[in-house]
Amino acid sequence: MDLQILSELSNDASISVPRLSKKINVNSSVVYSRIKRLVKRKLIERFTIVVNDEELGYAVKAVAGINMDTKQRDHIIGELFKIDGVREVAEVTGRFDILVTIYSKSLDQMHKMVSEKIGRIEGIQSSESFIEMKSRMKAMPYMPSKDSD
């Protein structure tokens, strides 16, 4: 039942408890208490919205792989977050030290952000940018598929 609730809420966090309870065929009071328990157990961290970046004018998304002087990690991450358009910084394994998710209104603005702002941060040794051409997303598989054991 918890997986059903998580699945439905991840699809639409604004669904009312009565509507959710009808959808999964469980009493509203049970669904309400289960949601409270999921929050308490930190399986649900928060209820949020998904903003349509394109409708706000942010038509270009990129991920930049960055290699850096790791002694300057905190400085570099702090400077990256000062740049408008930098949304996420993830420390990763592999050929890059960090991956930075960036949004901009145009390719020209993205070029300026990467070359004039990110490229000039002290401690960044090299970077490689990947412009998103098209994106598809799959819902989180909280419910076991019918053909799995």
Residues 101-149: pLDDT tens digits?
999 999 999 999 999 999 999 999 999 999 999 988 877 666 655 544 4
Domains with residue ranges and CATH for the chain: 2-40 (1.10.10.10), 60-131 (3.30.70.920)
Predicted confidence (pLDDT) per residue in 12-45, tens digit: 899 999 999 999 999 999 999 999 999 999 999 9
Per-residue pLDDT band for 10 (boundaries 50, 70, 90) equals confident
For residue 50, the one-letter residue type is: V
Q: What is the pLDDT of residues 62-81, one digit of tens each?
A: 999 999 999 999 999 999 99
Average pLDDT for 55-67: 95
Q: What is the CA radius of gyration of the chain?
A: 20
Q: Give the residue from 10, 6, 16 showing the smallest Cα distance to 38.
A: 6
Distance CA 91, CA 89 (A): 7
